[in-house]
Amino acid sequence: MGRRKKNKVSETVVQEETHRTLKVLCFMSFVGFIIAMLVDTGNFISFSSVEELKASVNQTQYEQLETQIEKWEGLGIDTSNRGLNKIGTMYALRTFIDVLAMVGVVFMFFRLRLGYFIYAFFQFVYVAIPFLFFGGVAMLIVPYSSVAITLIYVALFTTQRKHLTR
């Protein structure tokens, strides 16, 4: 009887550690989403309003964009107003996808398996969007690190999937 009680206590400790790991991963992911949404939204606003930035009194923001635009031009990416609006639209879509994927993280925080599927689906869409918009040159617009971090988090949540219920 004493042995059974001891096993039950150690099993509870292991479950608490597992839940803590999942919650820490959810918290880190939540913070990452806030940062990603800020970056994606900022890029959307910047690339959608290049003409306004050109005409503004403070040229600092435009000068930063201009450097990026010149780099893309040298790589053969369309940097006309239409091309920059396309880049802005891609970033707006990525911001929206960030929100949807974050819903999956919230569900996983409460240990709901549905959250994993929502999260993984929208993370893969998040990675695919630049390729759908720009084909093979997508990695020139969206950094490799962004794609790598996204896929690493999907892998980390996949390791925790067995601890999700319902």
What is the per-residue pLDDT for 113?
A: 95
Dihedral in degrees, nearest 10, Cα atoms 134, 103, 45, 48: 40
Q: Indicate whether 15 pLDDT > 70.
A: no
* Token pair listed for 102: 């974050």
Element (H, E) at 131: helix 113-134
Q: Does pLDDT of 124 surpass 80?
A: yes
Binning pLDDT at 50, 70 and 90, where does residue 20 land?
Answer: confident
Please state the domain extents for the chain: 2-163
How far is the C-alpha of 102 from the C-alpha of 123, rounded, in Å? 10
Give the pLDDT of residue 13.
55
The pLDDT tens digits of the residues spanning 22-63 come to: 999 999 999 999 999 999 999 998 888 888 877 776 777 778
Q: What is the mean pLDDT of the chain?
A: 87
Tokens at 59, concatenated: 């040229």
Answer yes or no: is pLDDT of 97 > 90: yes
Asked which of 45-54, 115-124, 154-163 is least confident by mean pLDDT, the reply is 45-54
